[in-house]
Amino acid sequence: MKLKNVSRYLSPYVYIVPAIAVFVLFLFFPFIKTIYLSLFKTNKMGQAKLFVGGGNYSDLFSSASFFNSLFVTAIFVLIVVSVSMLLGLITAILCNQSFPGIRIFSTAYALPMAIASSSAAMIFKIMLHPTIGIINKLLGLHTNWISDPRYALVCVALLSAWLNSGINFLYFSAGLSNIDNTLYERASVDGANSAQKFFRLTLPGLSPIMFYTLVVNIIQAFQAFGQVKVLTMGGPGESTNLIVYSIYRDAFFNYRFGSAAAQSVILFMVIMILTLCMFHLEKKGVHY
Amino acid sequence: STQTGSENITESQTKEDITTSAAPVASTTITFWHSMGGVNGEAINALVEKFNKENTSGITVEAQYQGSYDDAINKLKSAQIGNMGADLVQIYDIGTRFMIDSGWVIPMQKLIDEDKWDINQVEPNIAAYYTVGGTLYSMPFNSSTPILYYNKDMFKKAGITKVPDSLPGIDRIGDDLLKKGGAGEVISLGIYGWFFEQFTCKQQAHYADSGNGREAAATAVDFDKNGAGVKTLTAWKTLSDKGYAPNVGRGGDAGLADFSAGKSAITLGSTASLKQILNDVNGKFEVGTAYFPKVSDDDKGGVSIGGGSLWALNNNDVNKQSATWEFIKFLVSPESQAYWNSQTGYFPITTAAHQEPVFKDNISKFPQFQTAIDQLHDSTPQSAGALLSIFPEARQTVETEIENMINNKGTPEAAVTKMGESINKSITDYNLLNK
Amino acid sequence: MASLSLVNVCKTFKNGQIAVKDFNLDIKDEEFLILVGPSGCGKSTTLRMIAGLEEISSGELWIDGALMNLTVPQKRDLAMVFQSYALYPHLTVYENIAFSLRVRNIPQIEIEERVKKAADILCIRHLLDRKPFALSGGQKQRVAIGSVIVRKPKAYLMDEPLSNLDAKLRTQMRVELSKIHKELGATIIYVTHDQVEAMTLGTKIVVMNAGVIQQAAPPEVLYNNPVNKFVAGFIGSPSMNFIPVWVERREERICIVFSNNRLFLNEDNAHCLIESGYLGRRVYLGIRPEDFHETGPKEQAIKLKVEIKEVLGSDILLHGKIGGNPICGRLKPDFPSEAGTEVSIFADMNRILLFDLDTEENILDH
Amino acid sequence: MASLSLVNVCKTFKNGQIAVKDFNLDIKDEEFLILVGPSGCGKSTTLRMIAGLEEISSGELWIDGALMNLTVPQKRDLAMVFQSYALYPHLTVYENIAFSLRVRNIPQIEIEERVKKAADILCIRHLLDRKPFALSGGQKQRVAIGSVIVRKPKAYLMDEPLSNLDAKLRTQMRVELSKIHKELGATIIYVTHDQVEAMTLGTKIVVMNAGVIQQAAPPEVLYNNPVNKFVAGFIGSPSMNFIPVWVERREERICIVFSNNRLFLNEDNAHCLIESGYLGRRVYLGIRPEDFHETGPKEQAIKLKVEIKEVLGSDILLHGKIGGNPICGRLKPDFPSEAGTEVSIFADMNRILLFDLDTEENILDH
Amino acid sequence: MESVIEMAAKDINSDELENFKKKILKKALFRRRASKLILTILNLFVALFLLLPLLYAVSIAFMPSNELFTTNLNLIPSTPTFNNFRQAMAKIPLKRFIVNSFVVAGFITMGQIISCSLAAFSFSFLDFKGKNVLFMLVMATMMIPGEATIISNYLTVSSLKWLDTYQVLIIPYLTSAMGIFLFRQFYKSFPISLYESARIDGCSNLRFIYSILIPLTKSAIGAMAVYTFINAWNMYLWPLLVTGSDKMRTVQIGIGMLDSVDSQSISMMIAGVVMIIVPSISVFIIGQKQLIRGMFSGAVKG
Ligand SMILES: Nc1ncnc2c1ncn2[C@@H]1O[C@H](COP(=O)(O)OP(=O)(O)OP(=O)(O)O)[C@@H](O)[C@H]1O
Ligand SMILES: Nc1ncnc2c1ncn2[C@@H]1O[C@H](COP(=O)(O)OP(=O)(O)OP(=O)(O)O)[C@@H](O)[C@H]1O
Ligand SMILES: [Mg+2]
Ligand SMILES: [Mg+2]
């Protein structure tokens, strides 16, 4: 009897053990190390050398460059998330009804995800090139897309949005397929037109997955890296110096692991707070 | 990296001994990390294969691609902590100071001296870069200098016979090129830290203090104090303000596309890019080469080299050490270097290679390459260029500030000041933490 | 409200299943039409075709004189209670009921009023803030009804709307539906398995079997004068007893004969049988359980060995067999009978029915 | 099979809703227990607690002498038909029915045999290859029953398993369930709204209201001797008529008086009333509709103005009001009556019930 | 429908009626077809727009490089060539890389689906102490920037002597918070009565997961599998760091190997990119079958 109770008590944990084990070993443990490092100045090997306590943090908070990174990142995330979710949603809805060729189209919509961000950036780099780039040629412009601080961030953001739109399409499609068809039936008998069905049924029905997509998109946008590295390297000036790129630069380039670690921790905190806010909102807003 | 060499012994016993003074080394495998992709990687693999086949000492070299230069040095850092070492690594020019300070390496000089190898085989202007305090730390391998490429057709159309040798010179012919030559832009000048360094060299100024970082670890940059930086940027900005040198983006190859596409009349680029440029142009127009431009007409300096060199890592294994040395010797042999040059467009680092038929064939096929050789020979070891522990960061800073200057139309002085401040702070930090 | 007309309507599903065949029916304005039939006979499918949720395979659907075959559901202006409730899981009860009004942009105040009124009728006022998952089955069903009665559509379609309610509530709802029908002059098409609902609510009942209409008639006609054995057996609970009998002439009178029993027919029936030439042939005798009486003329007594006695409270049901045919009689609770004993019961000869042995059609015409 | 015992079981939902309160019940082995009560009274919740799907907020659940409060459902070895069917949408009917056998690793052959047998009982043999979406409501419900009757669990829990079936099929299923109960000696707990099912199937009926047991007794007891007005009104359809009346002594006899009517009680009842001191007080009179007769002693006649006449076929229902209380009488179809006319009907005085005005408890004890 | 056809059927004779009917049906049918056509055209536009970069990349891959470097409009190669592909194939052992990538991505995908569905099941169907805290911890792992952990992970695996093996590429990625989160969100709208029914049927949790939950959340699993696979396929930094030899290298590093400093052949690199996209597209096309509509229709009431 007692044994049975113990197993009953433990069984929920058994299901999460495989996941947690990997997390602990490869994420929590190293991240705690990172937090530790963020309290130090490091040598070129990335080893803690000089304890500075909050020194790295206060350095960051007095650095215009860091605030620029945060600001740029915020704008980047905003554009990426809104555009990619919109693209994903539009394409998912376009492919929600059956019509000839649907499989081809849905493949097309998901395709951007099949490309690694650095490969995609390579393609975009050529497309956006002011002289040989197809975009300028098609539009008859001579815009210097990625060397102009006005456009560079938008370009990187649109590239990322394009990349993410594929997986968002998949998520939304999967979400749509989860909505019970009889609800649509009832709604149409109730007199709801397509738009009303969309706003009153589809969107709420998608809300769990919408929430998921939002959270994941935000988190991933915050961590976008490959495209920046290939396309702009943080430039022009620091106009695309996203925080993750800045972390990368400090850690792997500038021999400042301490600062990079501190930025990682701050980034973590920022995302964490954002996510907590979203979960809080979910409890209120997301249905089911 | 644990492959045994036993098969290779039996196979190589029949082969002729090509390494002249080989101390017999019983079946050793060494690992060689490099950052050569594409055609370069192909050439390296061919050389390695040849060495593995032909050496009689039972040495097997395992060449491993480790990503870009940046990737490779980072991996080296983690590997040195984590003990998955290589025996020989290829590191870029700006990693030199870092490697010297790291304490992981066996100075090349030591191997050379032990073997009584004649160091004079190496081009002195190239060796100079890697020589600090009289010690050659690494063996130059893939070296290049920047040169000026120009569109001969456009020059002809514009009626220009003298290729400009300075930035003001370019400025002077700008209008002709645009109006008569039919150029879309005068010069596609990529925003590249290396070019900035070269412009400093050209002015015979130091980039950093402590003898350009060669007498001791630099404590600050010098270009902000000796005026070289401001001069460079002023000339650059003049071109840019006139619209002759529009912003084509960051990096050494940023300007090449416009040139290959026949839009810009002039571009600056590495000598190693020659083949690819010719390939991309593919006869659309004639490509000419000239010396890297001076900043003002009366500058007397030369250019310094860039590229990568080979570093022997200290793994406390005598066998591996001598095997590594054998392999290096093979790589820098005239034969190998001539082959290397013909395949990649990097300099042959030994003068003897110039005698190899392969080299001669190549230079007759690509006469433009002679410019590079001449330019190198016209330089002096004094132009060897700076060593700086935080060079990668410094370059980024320089590029960022140049970009800002061009885009935000700030003054050259302000840009140089900002560069100085920012780089100096990093140097100070670095020196403090890595005593 | 509206009149509907179905002409030769057929429905074949993708898997080849023919659910409705040659359905012809005129539903007049203000009619309360009841669809009944065995499980799987095509009632829901018919409703869904009218609503526009299933495509009509062939045939025509007219609503108020307009051909509606290809009109999308939201343009048909009908309201439907689904057999499966189909509540929106993310909306509260209030919003579920209000949904169809909201999509019509009806002013907030009016919505509130109508929803509250519907909720009162359905006794779910206290549940308005709940989400469907926190409702019991019957409560869900009432919400589904609520979302329909707030509207004033051309016609109401209701698919077993009261199946999960208790008897008392059901009676109450029945009265409310009846009121709505009368007050609004609503056209209602209503699927039910409940005989009482069918008999009391309907102005016309349609009996279906395997996708085919068997009879469409007012309740009393259906009950008293079913067109065939199927309808006769289907309507009425417990259902009618059937016994194959010989039609013979004995003692100068026409009688039906079966396993030791011999029942004399009344004049009208006898006449009718002779006229249509059934004398000497076999037919099915049909007697409803409630048409057995405890008393009667001795010579008409039918002996029944009681196998099971079911006590319903108001009545008792006696089950037994006659000549291998299961027989059920509904008698007064004080009728002395016990399982295992034999009782004499008497058929009301004025209420018997006779059916052709082959076509199973009703021979007599009351 | 098994015996169950619920001791002081309570259930409070997260939103504060108290669904079941102080539920005490012993369910003996082989019992066929029926749970009835108004919609939302806690029947399903009780079943779900027994099954282990809802946590028991307080109290104890014993199955075969073992405390089961915290046992996971799959270890309780019960079978349940859900009110909402809960079929697996991706499995065919066959696989749906076979599922519970498959998870027990029963040999293929035996599974096949049992599934086929169940399918035959339920008349869904031809549907075995279909997926649930291609079934009608009643067919789904039968599949849900099928997936339960293939098993031989400790007890069957059934939540309105026949609600979507037609009367005929329902009768048939009732018989089958009855058979299963007898043949397997199964313990069955059964929720239904159908009075006939409740009265014919159950060995014991539990009437619940608002989460509280009102009475647990065999069907006849419940019908004839309900403990209170609620039970009396709940059991029986149409439900019992209630009229507040005065208990008075007239002409040396005890009678009940209400709006111009005066009915004499029989000896037993009169005695009982006097004993318990109700003379001169007000009580509720309860008469079932079927306890009105067409004939009787003149002085006992009750005048009813017929407002609605419902023709059921076997009977008619007359609705009217007496002193503002709605009254329904069930009478023979040939009883001359028309909506709008006044009729005289007679209450069976041996079958009336009287309830305390405040506690609503039954005063008489038959 | 619309006012034109609001005429009573009885007002006209049968021929007219027939014609009239035909007309209406034709019109409605036409409207239906037209709306499908519009939908298709709309899709065509959106798809073209979204695919432009990819199509252009394919086009570049077939261009000799001198065609790329031109100021003229060069949407499609005028002298298409396989040369870029040939060169790319010659420079790197692409086949071996593809096999490696398949092995790694395949195992990671399977592992993630299993571990994530198990964990998500526990988080959404079971109740236990510390559930919310644990879930937030899991979520937190998503927010840790990869750059912040990679060095220390490198040290971990090298101390385990895993370098240059398959497991080092696979094991750290055997689970993902995103996957757990995704499944949890999907399970939220899963009809709970199916779980209950299965439990009463005597179904163990594991059995429930694999015979009910997984088949019914195919679309989510499909999306997740495709995503995981492609992500694993596209990993760069980690494989670069922990593998050394070509034996273990994956395709993305292969692409890197096409890039030569100082003499970059863009068209060849794009050819390489195109080549390694092909397998990932195939995976998607296979996985796509799982994204079918309408799983729950009619399974449960209300
Ligand atoms: N998950 C829940 N949360 C809160 N309240 C609930 C929940 N489920 C049921 N209830 C409420 O508990 C009460 C009892 O519900 P239950 O489902 O047991 O009723 P029932 O007797 O089965 O009714 P019905 O005959 O309508 O099915 C109802 O009032 C219902 O609204
Ligand atoms: N989508 C479908 N595909 C194939 N056959 C179907 C489909 N839906 C229903 N059917 C079949 O069509 C027939 C009619 O179904 P329908 O739902 O109309 O029955 P019903 O009369 O409503 O029955 P019930 O009283 O059981 O609800 C049934 O035999 C059913 O199995
Ligand atoms: Mg139905
Ligand atoms: Mg219930």
Which pLDDT score is estimated for C312? 72
Which pLDDT score is estimated for B10? 38
Structure tokens at B13: 């016993």
- Across the interface, whether the CB atoms of E6 and C75 are under 8 A apart is answered no
**Å from E59 to nearest chain B CA?**
16
Pocket test for ligand 2, best of C21, C44, C214 (most atoms within 8 A of CB): C44
Torsion B249-B250-B253-B255 (CA) sign: positive
User: How much distance in Å is there from the Cα of C19 to the middle of ligand 2?
Assistant: 6
Poorest-pLDDT segment among B24-33, B251-260, B391-400, C42-51? B24-33
Neighbors of chain D by Cβ distance (3+ pairs < 8 Å) = A, C, E
- Mind listing the pLDDT tens digit for each residue in E148-173? 787 788 878 877 878 788 888 898 89
Provide the percentage of residues in chain A whose pLDDT is more than 70. 94
**Residue D94 forms contact with C (CB below 8 Å):** no
Position of tokens 């699927």? Answer: C191
Confidence category of residue E13, pLDDT binned at 50, 70, 90? low
Confidence category of residue E2, pLDDT binned at 50, 70, 90? very low
**Residue A252 forms contact with B (CB below 8 Å):** yes
Mean pLDDT of chain B: 82
Average pLDDT (A16-43) is: 86
The candidate with the shortest Cα–Cα distance to D310, out of B152, E100, C196, A94, is C196
Which pLDDT score is estimated for C116? 92
**Å from A256 to nearest chain E CA?**
12
Residue B1 pLDDT > 60? no
Provide the percentage of residues in chain C whose pLDDT is more than 70. 99
| Phi, psi torsion values for D222, nearest 5 degrees | -60, -40
- Across the interface, whether the CB atoms of E284 and A268 are under 8 A apart is answered no
- Mind listing the pLDDT tens digit for each residue in C172-228? 888 888 888 888 888 999 999 888 888 888 899 999 999 999 999 998 888 888 999
- Across the interface, whether the CB atoms of E71 and B184 are under 8 A apart is answered yes
> What's the CATH class of domain C4-226?
alpha beta
In A, which residues are within 8 Å of B217 by CB distance? none
- Across the interface, whether the CB atoms of A186 and C102 are under 8 A apart is answered no
- Mind listing the pLDDT tens digit for each residue in E47-69? 888 888 888 888 888 888 777 77
Q: Is D129 in the pocket of ligand 2 (CB under 6 A)?
A: no
**Residue A173 forms contact with E (CB below 8 Å):** yes
Q: Is D345 in the pocket of ligand 1 (CB under 6 A)?
A: no
Q: Is C15 in the pocket of ligand 2 (CB under 6 A)?
A: yes
Which pLDDT score is estimated for B99? 85
Residue B22 pLDDT > 70? no
Position of tokens 């992981």? Answer: B104
**Fold assignment, D241-356:** OB fold (Dihydrolipoamide Acetyltransferase, E2P) (2.40.50)
Provide the percentage of residues in chain D whose pLDDT is more than 70. 99
- Across the interface, whether the CB atoms of E259 and B71 are under 8 A apart is answered no
User: How much distance in Å is there from the Cα of C133 to the middle of ligand 1?
Assistant: 9
Which pLDDT score is estimated for B154? 86
- Across the interface, whether the CB atoms of E25 and C70 are under 8 A apart is answered yes
**Å from E102 to nearest chain B CA?**
21
Position of tokens 């460059």? Answer: A65
CA dihedral A44, A46, A49, A50 (to 10 degrees): 100
The candidate with the shortest Cα–Cα distance to D177, out of D165, D195, D161, D153, is D161
Domain ranges of chain D: 4-226, 241-356
**Å from A49 to nearest chain E CA?**
16
- Across the interface, whether the CB atoms of E259 and B37 are under 8 A apart is answered yes
End-to-end CA distance of chain D: 34
Kindly report the protein residue whose alpha carbon is nearest to atom 8 of ligand 1. C134
Taking the C-alpha atoms of residue C122 and residue C96, their distance in angstroms, rounded to an integer, is: 14
Q: Is D43 in the pocket of ligand 1 (CB under 6 A)?
A: yes
User: How much distance in Å is there from the Cα of D283 to the middle of ligand 4?
Assistant: 34
For chain C, state the CA radius of gyration. Answer: 24
One-letter identity of residue E246: D
Give the ipTM of the model, two decimals please: 0.81
Structure tokens at A108: 């097309």
pTM confidence score = 0.83
Structure tokens at D256: 């009940």
User: How much distance in Å is there from the Cα of C151 to the middle of ligand 4?
Assistant: 27
Taking the C-alpha atoms of residue E261 and residue E265, their distance in angstroms, rounded to an integer, is: 10
> What's the CATH class of domain E83-297?
mainly alpha
The candidate with the shortest Cα–Cα distance to E147, out of A277, B74, D18, B182, is B74
With contact defined as beta carbons under 8 Å apart, do A92 and A169 qualify?
yes
With contact defined as beta carbons under 8 Å apart, do B202 and B294 qualify?
yes
Q: What is the largest CA-CA distance in chain B?
A: 69
Taking the C-alpha atoms of residue A187 and residue A202, their distance in angstroms, rounded to an integer, is: 11
Domain ranges of chain A: 54-285
- Across the interface, whether the CB atoms of C77 and A187 are under 8 A apart is answered no
- Mind listing the pLDDT tens digit for each residue in D115-144? 999 999 888 999 999 888 888 888 999 999
Average pLDDT (A35-42) is: 83
**Closest atom, ligand 2, to C-alpha of D139:** 26
**Residue A260 forms contact with E (CB below 8 Å):** yes
**Closest atom, ligand 1, to C-alpha of C137:** 27
Which pLDDT score is estimated for C114? 92
Q: Name the percent of chain A in helix, strand, coil, to the closest 5.
A: 75, 0, 25
Which pLDDT score is estimated for E288? 66
Position of tokens 């930086």? Answer: B229
Average pLDDT (E21-29) is: 77
Average pLDDT (B149-176) is: 85
Across the B/E interface, how many CB contacts are shorter than 8 Å?
122
With contact defined as beta carbons under 8 Å apart, do B325 and B314 qualify?
no
A window 131-150, beta carbon within 8 A of E = 131-132, 134, 137-138
Which pLDDT score is estimated for E6? 44
**Å from C75 to nearest chain D CA?**
26
Taking the C-alpha atoms of residue D170 and residue C36, their distance in angstroms, rounded to an integer, is: 14
Which pLDDT score is estimated for E7? 45
CATH number of A54-285: 3.30.70.270, 2.60.40.10, 1.10.10.60, 1.10.3720.10? 1.10.3720.10
Structure tokens at D258: 């209400």
Average pLDDT (B129-143) is: 87
Q: Cβ contacts of residue A236 below 8 Å, gap of 6+?
A: A146, A147, A148, A149, A152, B247, B249, B250, B403, B404, B407
With contact defined as beta carbons under 8 Å apart, do B252 and B188 qualify?
no
User: How much distance in Å is there from the Cα of E283 to the middle of ligand 1?
Assistant: 47
Confidence category of residue B82, pLDDT binned at 50, 70, 90? low
Which pLDDT score is estimated for C206? 93
Could you tell me which chain C residue has the CA closest to the CA of D351? C314
Kindly report the protein residue whose alpha carbon is nearest to atom 26 of ligand 1. C138
**Closest atom, ligand 1, to C-alpha of C166:** 25
- Across the interface, whether the CB atoms of E244 and B84 are under 8 A apart is answered yes
Q: Cβ contacts of residue A105 below 8 Å, gap of 6+?
A: A94, A95, E43, E44, E47
Position of tokens 């009509």? Answer: C56
Average pLDDT (A170-194) is: 82
Provide the percentage of residues in chain A whose pLDDT is more than 90. 5
Q: What is the DSSP letter of E210?
A: I
Which pLDDT score is estimated for E140? 85
Could you tell me which chain D residue has the CA closest to the CA of E207? D103
C324: three-class secondary structure by DSSP: coil
- Mind listing the pLDDT tens digit for each residue in A67-78? 888 899 999 999
Q: Cβ contacts of residue A152 below 8 Å, gap of 6+?
A: A145, A146, A232, A235, A236, A239, A240
- Across the interface, whether the CB atoms of D312 and C159 are under 8 A apart is answered no
User: How much distance in Å is there from the Cα of C137 to the middle of ligand 1?
Assistant: 7
More confident residue, B249 or A4: B249
Taking the C-alpha atoms of residue E94 and residue E73, their distance in angstroms, rounded to an integer, is: 32
Which pLDDT score is estimated for D9? 93
Neighbors of chain E by Cβ distance (3+ pairs < 8 Å) = A, B, C, D
Q: Cβ contacts of residue E101 below 8 Å, gap of 6+?
A: E232, E233, E250, E251, E252, E276, E279
The candidate with the shortest Cα–Cα distance to C359, out of C248, C306, C282, C296, is C282
Other C-beta atoms closer than 10 Å to the C-beta of D280 total 9
Which pLDDT score is estimated for B272? 84
| Phi, psi torsion values for A157, nearest 5 degrees | -65, -45
Pocket test for ligand 2, best of C17, C83, C212 (most atoms within 8 A of CB): C17
Q: Cβ contacts of residue C277 below 8 Å, gap of 6+?
A: none
Angle at D104 between CA D99 and CA D108, to 5 degrees: 70
Q: Is D169 in the pocket of ligand 2 (CB under 6 A)?
A: no
Q: Which ligand is nearest to the CA of D135?
A: 2
With contact defined as beta carbons under 8 Å apart, do B386 and B353 qualify?
no
Taking the C-alpha atoms of residue C87 and residue C90, their distance in angstroms, rounded to an integer, is: 9
